[in-house]
Chain A
Amino acid sequence: MGPDVSWYIVTSAFLFAVGALGVLLRRNPLIVLLSLEIMLNAANLALIGFARHLGETSGQVFALAVMAVAASEVVVGLGLIVALNRNRIPLDVDRLSTLRG
């Protein structure tokens, strides 16, 4: 018997918490993006774990979709960061608050 599904879920939750903390606490947009990826992959882990557990494939299909979204998100996010850098805007999310009400 290998590790049952709960191991995967706990791992996934742990990863998700790490990612969420990263998003909430870090200021460097690069790190925030990285943390976001961790959160997405935590979710993927949970999806696949459940898929295995239930013997269904739909979870895996979702995971694939998430990967695709994550990839495009990285493209946009990195593009933004490059643009910020080019315009000599400091890479600090706390100072990027133009949308403040």
Chain B
Amino acid sequence: MTDWLATILIVLPLAAALIVWLLPLADRTAGSLALLAALVEIGVWINAVTRFDFGVSGPQFDQQHSWFGDLGVSYHVGLYGFSLWLVGMSVVVLGAAIAYAFWTGRPRPRAYFGLMLFLTGAVVGVFSSLDLLLFYVFFEAMLIPLYVLVGVWGGAGRLTATLKFVIYTMAGSLLMLAAIVAFGLTEGTFDLASGTTSDNDLIFLGFVAAFAVKAPLFPFHGWLPDAYRESSAEVAAVLSGVVSKAAGFGFLFIAIPHFPQPAHDLQWLVLALAAAGLVYGSLVAFRAPDVRGVIAYSSLAQMSLVTIGLFALNTLGTTGAVLQMVNHGLLSASLFLLAGVIERRATTGDFALLGGMARGRPALATVLMTAGVIALAVPGSTAFAGEFLILAGVFNQGWGWAVAGALGIVLAAMYMLRLISAVLHGQVGSAVPDEALDLRPAELAVVVPLVALLLALSAWPAAVTDHLTF
């Protein structure tokens, strides 16, 4: 049973996706079934945590079956301590997204929830693959539902958004495929748990390019503003909260350990891109005209920060990066879902038309304020813990990087406070109707668990950092 946990985590949502999509269920039933599947998935993950042995390194719950024997490709899945937390964050965020979609109501729910569940399976697959080709398959499988979810259920500009997203990610993926083939054929194995390493700078850069698009890093973020603005709130939440973490996972699990020499030689390049992205994203977020714009560009800044931590190439930075990935997943999801909540009430996310929403809406104000101040990494929060470790880690590689990071943190305070104030404070905006309600119980049930998790992590970030195995 225990051996099957990783496989179950992957297959359960995929099977549920098929059921929801194919069976001629009523709309309401399909949604409930999807939500149930998401909750069961979270339950399975909790079970996996309790069974996980944090005392030993190496993958656990692993299973290996030969796939293309000639090429050394196999179905090899398993979880490390760090990927366990990424999987947990993903299933929680996806569960929240499915719940949000369920309560908000989406047209053609069977297809919608089917795709969401399929996405869940693919994401978990990405985080638990121990084979390079399998990783690629899940990585691409993750994109298919996203194309459809953005392109069909998105807003007015969804086609442009999807097109940009497709072009960017396809370009990145093809480079990665080339890199995977080159790596697998030169090293004779596609297995990621075997510890083979390569010195080839070009193969390394192929991987980096794919992950840089996915994260995204500056200047590969052209798809980001459109995709985050045009998709529905919960898809944006998943996109920035979960899917971007595939890049962090890729850096952490593939690009760095399997290319130690290139990672060391080209560290400056990645760090420079990430530092530029951090400052640049923060600056643009500071001037973004709407709620989603701020969250989108802050996502660019945060993923840059995670990359900085990973490419600090030391324990402090890596630990901080994993913690920050979990944090940012939960944060970004809460913020995007709240953006959706605000847009439902005011029909717009434009700051010029918003304001004064705190008055008479204490729950919305409290939740948004809490998520916002954690997002700006107020000292004492879990985001602060992550950023502190990341910057302390990169400080050892050169103090300049840490100064850039500290600058990013000050800028984060500026853009996040701007968002909070523009939505909650000041005069009541022209788009905010008096009858707009506070958070409804259903909305509370989606957002509060995410924020509660963040608060719990703030009290005890060591829950993650002390339970990492590689």
**A and B in contact, CB less than 8 Å:** no
